[in-house]
A and B are shown apart, each in its own frame.
Chain A
């Protein structure tokens, strides 16, 4: 039986510009891109195609040098028009000019009843070859899953609690049989449970309600209750030596489609929201879409920051960038590069704060939707205030001590203080509420990289 976990700690960032529950139909973007930087734990991605090559949806674009068989495949068919590299020739983006109709590489097709007969090895081979494999993220450290690993359990977070999060009922409507097929495939990879976690106050999408073979756990409480790391901590915590896999429902469905339809189907629904979007709503597109089409003529002003993902963990991609591999929302907020006279002390009810320090009145209006911009609202300082990180981290973890052990590069301390249990998103709220304006997520990633390379 599933568990019920009541979380109290955390904070819901209530932002203006929530996507209306409708799916707009527009022309598909012309270009799509896959970015190696969206994946952790891959080293020196090697290109397998070159500019000018034509690809089908499911054709490998590049692979990881350390795990040569893990490939990253094209979401749509078309022509590779650009291989964008940065400093030291670091691979940044592989851009594909999409065909009008998507042409698929064909993989083995199975009927629903055949799925139980597929061996783990056969399933694994098809998942790796088609590119759905990289949906699976391995804890500790949030890296692309190692095919040799034997996870003690697999976690699926069935809701998103982050700011302006899309509604999973809209994202995964009508995908019931694919979701089920995906669960059935994933079951082959673990001797433990598949945990599907949902929120008590959100309507249960029917794909989840009907799912068999997964433990259905219920959570209550504010963000970060939807972060899968928090869920793992409360249900089946990661100890030294443990491996747990996580995958979001989109990945499960993509696996289901691979086996039932025999194709790498990257079609997905994304939410486009944020205070600067004229009509926040959902769009049907493919993984890695260029955001241009969704934003042209749909912005209230020019001076904006376009974020792939949510504002806590996302990446600023500009008005012509591409949606990240794992992201299912785009958030557009005002750019905050302005000075404000006496901004550090002026009383205000318009700026959102978790704190209630002098002049910050946002706590009086918990229902209000705030416009948040990218200003840092102050300068970096040493750690001073204590106890706040703990209030937004619903885990038995002491974030300040963990962060300090990372800064000191003390491996034993990092391990003892729980670095195996967290990745960036789990501590993203700490970064938001931090009085001293540390870039906590990048500090944490530095620590994880130290552990990975040790």
Chain B
């Protein structure tokens, strides 16, 4: 390690002020601090010791929490592929197909967004933000397995530039960066991110007889227009080629078509457990999103006038990306509500809006993306009310 340290030390002065490559100082700094935690010490006045945590470790904790979703996603992409083809496949085949489809997306997302980070760090002279460690993993996990790689690149670049750097970088952004990428694709290239894109099928592939690539939400909406019970439609879906594909347990485990990382509620819950135990993600937000969705679902059950409204509320928790959004997107501390009581309101409203959008807006079958983006924008308002209440308590005390 001494050799590496010496090399970095030697290179350091040409990146420092007055050095030949001073322009690229923050690139060097990022390289340096990813190898060695810095030798800086606390100032002479104030706290002389500091907590062992830093932002890099915090971000890596989130990345680690996403690994179960990623691994399951790789498996599921391959599994759905062979299911749609109606072919029996070994675990090796499944994983191979999954890796071939998923890894390039991950690499492209990291490379494209990372490049923007570096360019902005040089231009704007700010440190390279490790927030992209998380964003670069979140983007692939909310992509359909069939997405063209150039779209992944364009979406990553768009979201980092517009959603983050335009506001001043990590910590200053208003919208969740990964969701902005997803929303960008949704509105810019709707063909590739809606309809039957949720299973990887090479061009010209011959699917099994009776195959349908409809997602549970599409099935539910369809059933509702036809006046058929949603649960009934789930049960009968896939008959002959994928029996019980949309049974509650199957959807909970995540063996269904969908975005790479978001199909499995179980894996999201494992991620949630990691985030909550480590204290990195706010349990208040996670719990309140689920509670909001469940509560809204139950309320719709009571006043149900169509079959989607009558779908048992707990189905909302396992279909679509609700769990993934609740655990990994809504908890983004920068874009979420920042006050503790605000987090409850923020989470509840995300859950409620998600179900509302799902059930009442057939144009957007998945509600969680728009619900979170909407609440990202509203979060400062929620915080404003909480902070105002705090100020008011202080003022009231004065008159007593």
Q: Which residues of A contact B (CB under 8 A)?
A: 13, 237, 239-240, 305, 307, 311-316, 331, 333, 335-345, 348, 351-360, 362, 372-379, 381-387, 390, 396-398, 400-401, 416-418, 424, 428, 431-437, 439-442
Which residue of the partner chain, among A307, A315, A342, A379, contacts B38 with CB atoms under 8 Å? A379
A373-B278 contact in complex given A237-B397, A379-B54, A381-B55, C-beta closer than 8 Å? no
How far is B43's CA from A314's CA once the two chains are assembled, in angstroms? 10
Nearest chain A CB to B341 CB, angstrom units: 10
A375 to B41 alpha-carbon distance, docked (Å): 4
Asked if A372 and B53 make an inter-chain contact with CB atoms under 8 angstroms apart, the answer reads no
Q: Are A314's CB and B48's CB within 8 A?
A: yes
| Interface residue B282 (Cβ < 8 Å from any Cβ of A) | yes
Interface flag for B7 (CB, 8 Å)? no
Asked if B302 lies at the interface with its beta carbon under 8 angstroms from chain A, I say no
Cα-based distance from A294 to B106 in the complex (angstroms): 59
- Does B236 interact with chain A (Cβ within 8 Å)? no
A316-B44, A417-B390 known; A356+B278 contact, CB < 8 A: yes
Chain B residues near A360 (CB-CB < 8 A): 52-53, 57
In the complex, 19 of the A-B residue pairs with CB atoms within 8 angstroms, ordered by the A residue number, are: A315-B44, A333-B48, A341-B4, A357-B280, A358-B64, A376-B38, A377-B51, A382-B172, A385-B55, A385-B333, A386-B338, A387-B333, A387-B338, A418-B394, A435-B54, A435-B55, A436-B55, A436-B171, A442-B43
The reply on B232 being an interface residue by CB < 8 A is no
CB distance B53 to A353 under 8 Å? yes
Chain B interface residue count: which class? 35 or more
User: Does the CB pair B56–A376 fall under 8 Å?
Assistant: no
In this assembly, does B37 line the interface, its C-beta being within 8 Å of a C-beta of chain A?
Answer: yes
Cβ-based interface call for B58 (8 A):
yes
**CB < 8 Å neighbour of A374 from B41, B54, B280:** B41
Given contacts A352-B51, A376-B50, A442-B43, contact A358 B57 (CB under 8 A): yes
- What is the bound-complex CA distance between A13 and B60, given in angstroms? 25
Given contacts A305-B48, A377-B51, A398-B339, contact A358 B278 (CB under 8 A): yes
In this assembly, does B277 line the interface, its C-beta being within 8 Å of a C-beta of chain A?
yes
The 10 closest A-B pairs by CB, nearest first: A378-B54, A382-B171, A343-B37, A351-B52, A239-B398, A339-B36, A372-B49, A358-B61, A353-B52, A441-B46
Q: Which residues of chain A are within 8 angstroms of B52 by Cβ–Cβ distance?
A: 348, 351-353, 355, 360, 362, 377
How close is B210's CB to chain A, nearest CB, in angstroms? 46
Expressed in whole angstroms, the Cα–Cα distance for A362 and B4 within the complex equals 29
Q: Which residues in B have their C-beta under 8 angstroms from that of A416?
A: 391, 394-395
**Known pairs A313-B47, A315-B44, A357-B58 / 13 extra A-B pairs, C-beta < 8 Å:** A316-B44, A333-B48, A339-B39, A352-B52, A378-B37, A378-B54, A381-B170, A385-B58, A386-B282, A386-B338, A424-B46, A439-B43, A442-B45
A316 touches B36 (CB 8 A): no
* B179 smallest CB distance to A (angstroms): 17
Complex Cα distance, B337 from A436, in Å, reads: 18
B37 A344 Cβ-Cβ under 8 A: yes
User: A86 → chain B, closest Cβ, in Å?
Assistant: 12
CA distance in complex: A401, B44 (Å): 26
Cα A325 to Cα B280 in complex, Å, equals 40
**Are A433 and B58 within 8 A (Cβ)?**
no
The digit string for B19-38, where 1 denotes a CB below 8 A from any CB of A, is: 00000000001000111111
Is B131's beta carbon under 8 Å from chain A? Answer: yes
A331 neighbours in B (Cβ, 8 Å): 48
**Do A379 and B33 form a contact, CB below 8 Å, given A357-B279, A387-B282?**
yes
> What residues on A are CB-neighbors of B279 within 8 Å?
355-357
Interfacial chain B residues near A383, Cβ < 8 Å: 171
8 A Cβ contacts from B180-203 to A: none
Which residues of chain B have C-beta atoms less than 8 A from A400's C-beta? 338
Flag if A398 contacts B387 (CB, 8 Å).
yes
> Would you call A239 and B127 a contact (CB within 8 A)?
no
Please name all residues of chain B whose beta carbon is closer than 8 Å to the beta carbon of A433 when the two chains form the complex.
51, 53
Q: Does B17 have its Cβ within 8 Å of any Cβ on chain A?
A: no
Which residues on the A side are within 8 Å of B4 (C-beta)? 341
Cβ-defined partner of A437 (8 Å) among B50, B131, B168: B50
A374 touches B339 (CB 8 A): no
A357 to B277, CA, bound (A): 8
Please give the distance in Å from A134's CB to the nearest CB on chain B.
19
Closest to A388 in B: B279
**Docked-complex contact B49 and A384, CB < 8 angstroms:** no
Closest-by-CB residue of A relative to B393 is A396
Task: Assess the B127–A357 pair: CB atoms within 8 A.
Answer: no
Known contacts A339-B36, A374-B41, A385-B333; is-contact A344 B54 (Cβ 8 Å): yes
Known: A345-B57, A360-B52, A434-B51. A381 touches B38 (CB 8 A): no
Is the pair A376, B278 in contact by a Cβ cutoff of 8 Å? no
Given contacts A384-B333, A384-B334, contact A239 B394 (CB under 8 A): yes
Chain A contacts of B5 at CB under 8 A?
339, 341
Interface residue? B129 (CB, 8 A): yes
B226 within 8 A of A: no
Closest approach, in angstroms, between the C-beta of B274 and any C-beta of chain A? 8
With a cutoff of 8 Å between Cβ atoms, the chain B residues found around residue A333 in the complex are 48-49
Chain A residues with CB below 8 A from B55, complex form: 378-379, 381, 384-385, 435-436
Report how far A315 CA is from B47 CA in the complex, Å.
8
CB atoms of B56 and A344 under 8 A apart: yes
A342 touches B40 (CB 8 A): no
Question: In the complex, what's the smallest C-beta–C-beta distance from B374 to chain A, in angstroms?
Answer: 20
Contact of A417 among B29, B131, B171, B391 (CB under 8 A): B391
Q: Does A240 contact B51, Cβ atoms closer than 8 Å?
A: no
Min distance, Cβ A171 to any Cβ of chain B, angstroms: 22
Query: B residues 58-96 with Cβ under 8 Å of A?
Result: 58, 60-61, 64
| Residues of A close to B127: CB separation below 8 A | 379, 381
A35 → chain B closest CB, angstroms = 12
A315–B44 alpha-carbon span in the complex (Å): 5
Min distance, Cβ A350 to any Cβ of chain B, angstroms: 9
- In the bound complex, how far is the Cα of B57 from the Cα of A368, in angstroms? 23
Q: Is there a chain A Cβ closer than 8 Å to B42's Cβ? A: yes
Say yes or no: is B1 at the interface (Cβ < 8 Å to chain A): yes
In the complex, chain A residues whose CB is within 8 Å of the CB of B40: 337, 375-376, 379
B365 contacts A by Cβ under 8 Å? no
Give the nearest-CB partner of A416 in chain B. Answer: B391
Establish whether residues B333 and A336, one from each chain, have CB atoms under 8 Å apart when the complex forms. no
Scoring B residues 277 to 288 as 1 if CB is less than 8 Å from chain A, else 0, what string do you get?
A: 111101000000
Minimal Cβ-Cβ distance residue in B for A418: B394
Q: Are A428 and B278 in contact (CB under 8 A)?
A: no
- Nearest A-chain residue to B171, judged by Cβ: A382
B397 touches A384 (CB 8 A): no
Q: Which of A333, A374, A417, A440 has the most CB of B within 10 A?
A: A374
Nearest chain B CB to A40 CB, angstrom units: 12
